[in-house]
Structure 1
Amino acid sequence: MSNVELSALISRLDFAWVTTFHIIYPPLTIGLAALLFFAEWRWLRTNDETWYRLCRFFEKLFIVNFGAGVATGVTMEMAFGILYGPFSQAAGPFLGQVLGYETITAFMYEAGFIGLMVFGWGKISRGMHLFATFNVALASSLSAFWIMDANSWMQSPSGVEYKDGVFHIVDWYAAILNPDVLAAFPHKLVASFELSLFFAAAVSAWYILKGQHVALFQRSLKYSVLALVVVAPLQVYVGDSLGRVTADAKPAGLAAMEGHFHTYNPDGSPNTSWNVLAWPNAKGDGNAWSIQIPHVLSLLETHTFDQPVPGLDQFAPQDRPPVVIPFYAFRIMAAIGGFLTLVAFWGGWLAWRGRLSVTRVTQNRWFLRAIIFSGFLPYLAIWTGWWTREVSRQPWVVYGLMRTEDGVSNMSVMSAIFWLVGFMTFELIVWAGTWYFLAKVVRKGPDMDSPIPGEGHEQLGHLADNSSNPGGEPEYIRPV
């Protein structure tokens, strides 16, 4: 391997590290912002202090995660210019505009309202504070759209002409609403809600399992589980829609995800078998072994019984993506999605049977443990989904138009190592700090004593801490 190839490899690994660590923060920001809005809206509608205490508690977790997302997001934009200079220059006419839209319509928009949301309690009216929280949630989703739009354009470039080393925009509508984003953005948005709901449910289950603030966190657990009964299977459906878009826009990537090497069997019939597990052979032109189910691949990708699905043999060897990472990462993601759906249905059944009430929720210890375990799984699903998406696009940085090797910056091996060590150190510090402060907030627990802002709180009083009576109903202390 030459120095140029080694430098390019290190730079690619470096960017993979940066994006892998950044991608875990925005989904929680997006989903938690929506949950905070819901909790605050319920507080205003019912004047039930439980919703206020939940909102203030999860707001602290939101702030920690938001700060980490901003820090790693800025780092990722730096990495574009440092590690992928030629690509950044070539794609600037599109990516520069899209990221500019994200800054104006999302990042600055969000920054303007997040101060009101965090520091405006008791200083602005309840209605205005709810409006600020709503705008934080909306801006977070807008930010996700523009970022996913930029990445989706790399997966299914449209509306551009690539000439003289630059992508020239010929149709802004087609470029922004490219085929991939119409399925990828809903997939990411629903994934954000699913992750945040499981995160909130896991934190709530942890407190309930420990017998602390049971009356408070029973509310957040029950509502999260009921929402997951809809969100978890919806995510599976949206993921299937994205798979069909990938089959049309990135067929080589789909073939790699399925370990599908041969379009037709030796007898000339369509190869419609789905590989449950497989491993490529030494030549890279087939599987050394595989466990297959006939016709399932065609059913999954074309919704027919025997329609051909293009295999890797339909593409030149130099245009084929790696197989092992997208193949197994995709299966891990899909398996997690199925498992989380089952856990959501389990919780829905318990709620239907009345077993998630304040008096009975502590009896479901195995379910509570399953929820706590499930709190980490959406992160793993997002990681493996992202690896599937990015590795299956190779060897292209812009699918079918610009190869990754042409987009990587030309730097010395020592420079590449310097940036790799620097970015790795920074991301690990942010990651460790994030989990330290999240754990600190959880250990400290919710504030049950501070006065409630706004008019009317003196009639309601404050919710008693019933840690000593975890099975009891909420007790409200009236002011004397």
Structure 2
Amino acid sequence: MMIESDLALLISRLDFAWITTMHIIYPPLTIGLALLLFFTEWRWMKTDDEQWYRLTRFFEKLFIINFGAGVATGVTMEMAFGILYGPFSQAAGPFFGQILGYETITAFMYEAGFIGLMIFGWGKISKKMHLFATFNVMLSSSLSAMWILDANSWMQTPTGVEFKDGLFHVTNWAEAILNPDFLVAFPHMWIAAVELALFFVAGVSAWYVLKGRHVALFQRALKYSILAAVIVAPLQIYLGDDLGLTVKDHQPAALAAMEGHFETYNADGQPNTGWHIIAWPNDAAGKNDWAITIPYALSLIETHTLNGVVKGLDQFKPAERPPVLIPFYSFRIMVAIGFALFFVALWGAWLAVRGRLTVENITRNRWFLRALIFSAFLPYLAIWTGWWTREIARQPWLVYGMMTTAEGVSHMSVGEAIFWLIGFMFFELGVWFGAWYFFAKVIRKGPDMDSPIVEGNEPLGHLEAPSHDENADPAYVRPA
């Protein structure tokens, strides 16, 4: 039985694209921010420095908001599998269902237990136990991402299974779980989460410094974040290149779409594998209407040789070619952002070396602070465009080379598809507006500098009230 029309298929695809696009902005910040919260709390324990405590409690509030939005949209996405892709859910159940079950047991339930201690345990459990809870939230959020990405990676490079009698039967669990895409895609995604969190913290801190509020407190968060980004940003670029090599080996049609590479040339001295900086792909004509190209560069990027052969879309049947325009430009936006964030991190490191990120001097770097605020949004766009590249370039396959999207979509009318699209859009927008409303509310209010610092089951004391404007940088006062 086929769906009623191509329009219903298109609407179902757009619906799931909307759901994943709105969900993917939350889990990476949860993963990366959990790591940074563990670091700041650990530093507080080691140094007994109040500023680390204040930073932990402030960014923990933003973490809680983001975590709640991620859970709400994540549950919705799992529900959407059954609604929008019923045949796929049934066929892939022997592997896909097991992996999601592992995620629930080993990550989601694990995280749910410790996040309660992390949020509500202040002053009720010992400092070491609270740090242990924060560590487990950090670990479980990464485990959750690992299982979810493993399921998606298997759809990209399905190994260890055979498709028989309408079901994907697992023949080798090790090969299925450790599929080629997962081994590279998970580190790439995990580092993206850390990079997002670093620039999120740096951007929020830059806003406070630019406003002249709690400068000493947020100067510390900004400086540590930007110095860490100097390491993380180039590592992410390297992992992205490594993932591109995996795509070349296992999804050559996807790579050709990402590069707007329509024709395959042999290594015969021609500028055969030029890299298109920009172009206007024409799927119907099987060529680019125009392009600005660097000769030989695509070969250097993808094969690390001057005249290596990179397959073009002409090597694949028309029905098995992905659309080109969106993957082509979304891939370039992602890459451009990756390098832009690296250059911002280098800018910050240069300022730090020159002593311009000290408490006394940091407010003078107004253009750098503005760049950091802008950069806080760039990782979100990079994750969006990276995900669009990954999913659209896989088309027409739902499970690459084994099941098409048309075969896996639920059988529904155009009216039913529109109903679910509208319903999911309203829900996701409600969560999005709610999350950003509370983000803005917490950031406008600022960190709590007056409440008692808690240790174990007893408060240590109260800070003395600041003697000057509450929006100015409060003096550092040890607890009584």
Q: Which residue of 2 aligns with 1:402?
A: 403
1:475: how far off?
A: 2.2
Cα RMSD, aligned residues only: 2.0
Alpha carbons of 1:467 and 1:170: their partners in 2 closer, same or farther (altered >3 Å)? farther
Contact 2:452 2:460 (8 Å CA) reproduced? no
Contact 2:450 2:462 (8 Å CA) reproduced? no
Distance 1:457 1:368 in 2: 39
Contact 2:213 2:473 (8 Å CA) reproduced? no
Count matched residues.
Answer: 478
Residue by residue, what CA displacement relative to the aligned partner does 1:31-55 show, whole Å, maximum 9, x if unpaired?
Answer: 0000000000000000000000000
1:281: how far off?
A: 3.0
Contact 1:211 1:467 (8 Å CA) reproduced? no
Distance 1:453 1:331 in 2: 48
Contact 1:213 1:466 (8 Å CA) reproduced? no
Partner of 2:93, secondary structure, is helix
Contact 1:461 1:476 (8 Å CA) reproduced? no
1:41 aligns with 2:42: yes
Alpha carbons of 1:471 and 1:396: their partners in 2 closer, same or farther (altered >3 Å)? same
Contact 1:359 1:473 (8 Å CA) reproduced? no
1:206 aligns with 2:198: no
1:463: how far off?
A: 8.0
Gaps of 5+ in 1: none
Instruction: Give % identity.
Output: 69
Q: Aligned AA for 2:94?
A: P
Residue by residue, what CA displacement relative to the aligned partner does 1:237-259 show, whole Å, maximum 9, x if unpaired?
Answer: 11111000111111100000000
Alpha carbons of 1:284 and 1:148: their partners in 2 closer, same or farther (altered >3 Å)? farther
Alpha carbons of 1:465 and 1:235: their partners in 2 closer, same or farther (altered >3 Å)? farther
1:378 aligns with 2:349: no
Partner of 1:277, secondary structure, is strand
Q: Which residue of 2 aligns with 1:73?
A: 74
TM-score (norm 2): 0.96
Distance 2:334 2:107 in 1: 29
Alpha carbons of 1:466 and 1:209: their partners in 2 closer, same or farther (altered >3 Å)? farther
Distance 2:77 2:467 in 1: 45
Matches within 5 A, 1:98-137: 98-137=99-138
Q: Which residue of 2 aligns with 1:61?
A: 62
Distance 1:37 1:225 in 2: 17
Q: Which residue of 1 aligns with 2:96?
A: 95
Q: Which residue of 2 aligns with 1:52?
A: 53
1:456: how far off?
A: 11
1:284: how far off?
A: 3.4
Matches within 5 A, 1:183-202: 183-202=184-203
Distance 1:441 1:215 in 2: 19
Partner of 2:307, secondary structure, is coil
Distance 2:172 2:179 in 1: 11
Distance 1:97 1:65 in 2: 27
1:462: how far off?
A: 3.7
Alpha carbons of 1:389 and 1:465: their partners in 2 closer, same or farther (altered >3 Å)? farther
1:464: how far off?
A: 6.8
Higher mean C-alpha displacement, 3-12 vs 360-369 = 3-12
Q: Which residue of 2 aligns with 1:475?
A: 476
Q: Aligned AA for 1:428?
A: L
Q: Which residue of 1 aligns with 2:17?
A: 16
Alpha carbons of 1:290 and 1:424: their partners in 2 closer, same or farther (altered >3 Å)? same
Alpha carbons of 1:112 and 1:469: their partners in 2 closer, same or farther (altered >3 Å)? closer
Distance 2:170 2:413 in 1: 33
Distance 1:104 1:4 in 2: 39
Gaps of 5+ in 2: none
Q: Which residue of 2 aligns with 1:283?
A: 284
TM-score (norm 1): 0.96
